[in-house]
Amino acid sequence: QSALTQPASVSGSPGQSLTISCTGTSGDIGGHNYVSWYQHHPGKAPKLLIFDVSLRPSDIPDRFSGSKSGNTASLTISGLHAGDEADYYCSSYVTSSSPYWVFGGGTKLTVL
């Protein structure tokens, strides 16, 4: 049950756009569309940003978008602002005889 691979950190200036990648295998990300992204401010509850690769809950602004190519999913954040500084995690359902979920190691986003 290996974790998905994310960059440890990314940074950008206010107003810029950036993309966080999440690499898995054909057994998780590449095998279906059950890929989600979460925003986590320390001490708070993780927040669902993206589900089913590219869908947004109704309370999430369209500055956040998701995509997938092969075994790699991506989260793009446009119009960065200070409140976006947080940890971001990707997650995938893993289909197997005993299904389970796996998270990425997390990416620390710093707004410069």
Partner 1 sequence: DVEVVESGGGLVQPGGSLKLSCATSGFSFSGSALHWVRQASGKGLEWLGRIRSASKNYATVYAASVKGRFSISRDDSQSTAYLQMNSLKTDDTAVYYCTRHHDYGDYVAPLDYWGQGTLVIVSS
Q: Which is nearer to partner 1, 1 or 26 (CB)?
A: 1
Minimum Å gap between C-beta 92 and partner 1 is 10
Minimum Å gap between C-beta 112 and partner 1 is 23
> Element (H or E) spanning 63, and its range?
none
Q: Which is nearer to partner 1, 15 or 41 (CB)?
A: 41
Q: Which is nearer to partner 1, 2 or 16 (CB)?
A: 2
Minimum Å gap between C-beta 44 and partner 1 is 6
The size of the chain, in residues, is 112
38 burial class (0-12, 13-18, 19+ CB within 10 angstroms)? buried
Minimum Å gap between C-beta 15 and partner 1 is 28
Residue 57 backbone zone (phi > 0: left; psi -120 to 50: alpha; other: beta): beta
Chain contacts with partner 1 (rule: CB under 8 A): 1, 3, 34, 36, 38, 40, 43-48, 51-52, 57, 89, 91, 93, 98-106
78 burial class (0-12, 13-18, 19+ CB within 10 angstroms)? middle
